[in-house]
Amino acid sequence: MNPRQQEKLAGLISQPIKWRCRLDRYTSLSIGGPADAVVRVDNRRELQAVLTFLAEDKIPWQVIGRGTNLLVRDEGFAGVILLLDGEFKKFARQSTDDADKGIVCAGGGCSLAQISFSCMEWGLAGLEFACGIPGTLGGAVIMNAGAWGSEMSSIVENVRLMTADGEKRFVRGELDFSYRCWNGFAAFRGKAVVSEVELELKNGDPDTIRQYCSVLQDRRKKTQLCKYPNAGSFFKNPSNDSAGRLIDVSGLKGLTIGGAMISEHHGNFLVNKGGASAGDVLNLMKIIQAKVKNDSGVELEPEVHFI
């Protein structure tokens, strides 16, 4: 970005911009080279103005949420990283005439685990599966995040996307989700940001919901125990199998390249033992893909997104 562009961008938002900022501190893997700028947007007006400016000046951008399902390359990103802040981090329960239902309206930058916790307090059932998922709501919708047999697609009622041209609303019937993917978002990639989501949940008993959350948390601790920075499941599960199991039977757990290691607890967790580069993780990824293909005939596809 040239100085004129930097000045223009800074004039569009209220929070200070971080220029040439390393992204490792913004990702759960603690890996990532520098971006030209990291920009926090507080509200819809700012977001639309920023998207318009970036589109006009053809500057690449990415929203990274809480950076939990992400591998940022060592070269970094020649463009702008957007973080949703302010009103995008707010959520509230809405009133509804239906006694069985509860609606929660939330900004795309909200923590999914935090919404799940509040739903538990409000006695709203349906989001228990997300109590240990560390990402943002917007990211969870785009990748149809899931766990324990449930996924976002079962509770998302509608989604608002902000583009340079304004906000568009998509209702449940238009969304088209599949395993770990909101298919409908493909047409908007690089053009739109999830600004708001309405979740439809069921009224339930807070104690039952709390107990279920705690069972799931315990299960997660047992199966995914991980003391090192990681990005959750690195590969998607192939149909009717588990990437973790396939990596395990290939004898790869514990394999280390540089600072990156395949977790000794769970084959589908690639961890940063300290000082790992994105290159280390990518090399490990290629070794896993080749060995699993050779041993089991399965092509593992990454679940993590790359910048």
Identify which of 294, 303, 304 has the alpha carbon closest to the alpha carbon of residue 252.
294
Pick the piece of the chain touching ligand EPU (CB under 6 A) from 43-51, 79-87, 261-269, 278-286. 261-269
DSSP 3-state of 35: strand
Neighbouring CB atoms inside 10 A of 16's CB total 9
Q: Which of 22, 236, 273, 305 binds ligand EPU (CB under 6 A)?
A: 236
How far apart, in whole angstroms, are the C-alpha atoms of residue 140 and residue 159?
Answer: 12
Q: Which of 73, 245, 273, 291 binds ligand EPU (CB under 6 A)?
A: 245
Residue 113 in contact with residue 107, Cβ under 8 Å?
no
Active site residue 277: no
In whole angstroms, the minimum distance from the beta carbon of 69 to ligand EPU comes to 7
Nearer Cβ to ligand EPU, position 78 or 225? 225
Q: Which of 46, 128, 196, 303 binds ligand EPU (CB under 6 A)?
A: 303
Q: Indicate whether 204 belongs to the interface with ligand EPU (CB under 6 A).
A: no
Contact flags string 124-153 toward ligand EPU, x per CB under 6 A: -----------------------xx-----
Strands 77-84 and 61-63, by their bridges, are: parallel
131 Cα distance to chain centroid: 14
In whole angstroms, the minimum distance from the beta carbon of 56 to ligand EPU comes to 36
Judged by CB under 6 A, how many residues of this single chain contact ligand EPU?
17
Sorted by sequence, the CB contacts under 8 Å of residue 242 that are 6+ apart come out as 268
Token pair for residue 292? 């699993």
Place of tokens 């973080």: 83
Pick the piece of the chain touching ligand EPU (CB under 6 A) from 39-47, 202-210, 243-251, 290-298. 243-251
Pick the piece of the chain touching ligand EPU (CB under 6 A) from 33-41, 53-61, 184-192, 231-239. 231-239
Q: Indicate whether 242 belongs to the interface with ligand EPU (CB under 6 A).
A: yes
Pick the piece of the chain touching ligand EPU (CB under 6 A) from 13-21, 33-41, 47-55, 263-271. 263-271
Active site residue 200: no
Q: Indicate whether 244 belongs to the interface with ligand EPU (CB under 6 A).
A: yes
Angle between helices 206-224 and 112-122 (to 10 degrees): 150
Q: Indicate whether 302 belongs to the interface with ligand EPU (CB under 6 A).
A: no
Pick the piece of the chain touching ligand EPU (CB under 6 A) from 13-21, 101-109, 200-208, 239-247. 239-247
Residue 284 in contact with residue 292, Cβ under 8 Å?
no
Q: Which of 107, 232, 259, 302 binds ligand EPU (CB under 6 A)?
A: 232
Q: What is the DSSP string of 237-256?
A: PPTTS-HHHHHHHTT-TT-E
Bridge partner list, 202:
101, 125
In whole angstroms, the minimum distance from the beta carbon of 143 to ligand EPU comes to 8
Q: Indicate whether 102 belongs to the interface with ligand EPU (CB under 6 A).
A: no
Burial pattern 274-307, b for ≥16 Cβ within 10 A else e, equals eebbbebbbebbeebbebbeeebeeebebbbbeb
Bridge partner list, 35:
21, 77
Note the residues at the interface with ligand EPU (CB under 6 A): 147-148, 223, 232-233, 236-237, 242-245, 248, 253, 266-268, 303
Catalytic residues: 180, 233, 303
